Amino acid sequence: MKGIFIVFLVLCSTHSLWSQDSWKGKPVDFSHGLLRVSENKHFLQHVDGTPFFYLGDTAWELFHRLDREEATLFLKKRASQGFTVIQAVALAELEGVYDPNAYGFLPLTNLNPKIPAIKDGENNDYWDQVDFVVNKANELGMYIGFLPTWGRYWNDGEKPLFNEDNAEAYGEFVGKRYKNKELIWILGGDRPVDNEKKLAIMRAMAKGIRKSGAKQLITLHPSGGNGSAQWVNNEPWLDFNMRQNGHAVDFTGRYNQTYEDYQRIPVKPVIDGEPLYEDHPIAFDPDKFGHSTAADVRRPLYWDLFTGAFGHTYGHHSVWQMYDPQKKRIPINRPLISWQEAIDQLGAVQMMYGRKLMESRPFLSRIPDPSIIVDALYTSLMPGAGRVKFVATRDQDGTYAMVYAPVGRKFTVNMEVIKGSKVIAWWYNPRNGKSIKKGIYTNQGQQVFISPDPGEYLDWILVLDDASKKYPAPGGNLL
């Protein structure tokens, strides 16, 4: 009887993971077991079948720059905002092997990856601080997306710190230390794996991690505008692909590549591990393009999710570098505010509404489907281009469909993608996570829609449900 009840709970979880009144700050339930790739190879789930929504944050300098009190503040905030993964780097980008951490410790002895700087006792070395952060994140119901090193240390210069030999030893060290923690391994670190020597180093690090007995998932964070799939999609150690679609505002040339990776063979799940950050200089040129806003980071959230990503990663320009003007550190690329202020920025809060929406409908059966949107005479009008690209996703069984409308512009939907005779239409507001019931339609032919703010750069999501399924309001929160 107990086994039947557990199976029932798992089946229910694939339908809707959120109740109407429970969404804010819901932690990961690690009792569902290790993360694994789903049977259809497009999602992550726990070993018991429970779906997992990856909502990440790029806190690259978390281990290196924050003390315990600051790290606790940051992690508690992200947990309360519904994040499920915190991406952080052990050997951090900003002189992480040369400048000591908040307690004066360096991670390596004589810059040798084979000799981590470890002392007996608690709170005595760099790695004790890493332990604290990993444990605190797990305690709060979040995974650590653990980058063993930033790419500069195996890629840059004539003689980088890492080679094939010490990469395996270092991988085994971090693997042994964290094999029983709730984390996801992320190799790479913003660099291309564009020759055999670099690939050998990545293979060796992955080998070391596996040699340690660590069974957590492994991916690779690539350089800007690229994806891990173009270099290592066939590698047996790569469990899912990660993109860095990067710090641009337009769909074409960046975010369209998520769908391209979704279609690759062999099939592997894909996620954007570094899209445009909030308050970041757009295209690294603030004098020409200014800094991004919450709206600019919402668009990639839905562009990625609706074109095949199994989750999403948020980033803030002040948070990744843990910018704190009181500490007199050199700011990178004009951060606008301190990290303490940035953790409450609107875009961070609104990421949760994307998770909330996805988890309110069948999860593991969702597929991208551009054919939902009827092309206009000029496709630059619909499905659009640049910042006004419309994208669509649906349940493969035809029980629901969604269209992301980044601007208030008329569009036409092929209704036959929904199987039921009656279709309930909703408008979901990605700025506040609330839904408006539009009406019930007879399911035939094509139907024209326009979002509640015609002509404005205010994004909305059209949700179409098979009425017979009696799904709750999208996201579980009716206006």
Q: What is the pLDDT of residues 434-474, one digit of tens each?
A: 999 999 999 999 999 999 999 999 999 999 999 999 999 99
Res 21: pLDDT: 41
* Mean pLDDT confidence for 400-414: 98
Q: What is the CATH number of the domain that holds 131?
A: 3.20.20.80
Q: Which of 15-29, 94-108, 328-342, 393-407 has the lowest mean pLDDT?
A: 15-29
Q: Which of 196, 263, 274 is nearest to 235 (CA)?
A: 196
Task: Say how many domains are in the chain.
Answer: 2
421 and 307 in one domain? Answer: no
408 and 341 in one domain? Answer: no
Which two three-digit tokens encode residue 291?
């800094």
Q: Specify the pTM.
A: 0.94
370 and 349 in one domain? Answer: no
Q: How do residues 69-125 score in pLDDT, each as one tens digit?
A: 999 999 999 999 999 999 999 999 999 999 999 999 999 999 999 999 999 999 999
* Mean pLDDT confidence for 413-438: 96
* Mean pLDDT confidence for 322-340: 95
Q: What is the CATH number of the domain that holds 447?
A: 2.60.40
378 and 290 in one domain? Answer: no
Q: Where would I find the H helices in 108-157? A: 126-139, 152-155
Which two three-digit tokens encode residue 239?
């469990």
Q: How do residues 56-71 score in pLDDT, each as one tens digit?
A: 999 999 999 999 999 9
DSSP run (H or E) holding 229 = helix 229-232
443 and 339 in one domain? Answer: no
Domain boundary among 340, 358, 376: 358
Angstrom CA distances, 264 to 267, 351, 369, stand at 6, 27, 16
H/E/C letters for each residue in 307-353? CCCCEEEECEHHHHCCCCHHHCCCCCCCCCCCHHHHCCCHHHHHHHH
* Mean pLDDT confidence for 11-28: 52
Q: How do residues 156-205 score in pLDDT, each as one tens digit?
A: 988 899 999 999 999 999 999 999 999 999 999 999 999 999 999 999 99
Q: How do residues 244-263 score in pLDDT, each as one tens digit?
A: 999 999 999 999 999 999 99
Print burial letters for 103-125: b (CB count within 10 Å at least 16), e (below 16): eebbbbeeeebeebbeeeeeeeb
90 and 229 in one domain? Answer: yes
Res 479: pLDDT: 63
d(CA 48, CA 43): 14
Domain boundary among 358, 390, 417: 358
Show Cβ contacts of residue 64 under 8 Å, excluding neighbours closer than 6 positions. Answer: 89, 92, 94, 96, 99, 101
Peptide bond into 383 cis (omega under 30): yes
Res 456: pLDDT: 95
Residue 4 lies in a domain: no
382 and 328 in one domain? Answer: no
Print burial letters for 305-318: b (CB count within 10 Å at least 16), e (below 16): bbbbbbbbbbbbbb
d(CA 59, CA 160): 24
Decide if pLDDT at 2 tops 90.
no
Angstrom CA distances, 460 to 211, 384, 386, 449, 454, stand at 47, 15, 17, 11, 11
Decide if pLDDT at 17 tops 60.
no
Decide if pLDDT at 5 tops 60.
no
DSSP run (H or E) holding 88 = strand 85-91
Dmax (CA) for the chain in angstroms is 71
195 and 167 in one domain? Answer: yes
Q: How far apart are the first and last CA of the chain?
A: 40
Using a 10 angstrom Cβ sphere, with 0-12 exposed, 13-18 middle and 19 or more buried, the burial of residue 5 is exposed
Res 24: pLDDT: 58
Domain boundary among 327, 358, 389: 358
444 and 305 in one domain? Answer: no
User: In which domain, by residue range, is 94 found?
Assistant: 17-358
183-188/218-221 β-pairing? parallel
Q: Letter for the amino acid at 271?
A: I
* Mean pLDDT confidence for 144-153: 98
325 and 394 in one domain? Answer: no
382 and 351 in one domain? Answer: no
Residue 73 lies in a domain: yes
Confirm if 331 and 283 have CB atoms less than 8 A apart: no
Residue 11 lies in a domain: no
Q: Letter for the amino acid at 437?
A: K
Mean pLDDT of all residues in the chain? 94
Residue 10 lies in a domain: no
Decide if pLDDT at 10 tops 50.
no
Res 7: pLDDT: 39
Residue 9 lies in a domain: no
Residue 2 lies in a domain: no
SS3 content of the chain, % helix, strand, coil (to 5): 35, 25, 45
Residue 1 lies in a domain: no
Q: Which residues pair with 54 in a beta bridge?
A: 311
Q: What is the CA radius of gyration of the chain?
A: 22
Residue 76 lies in a domain: yes
* Mean pLDDT confidence for 281-296: 96
471 and 449 in one domain? Answer: yes
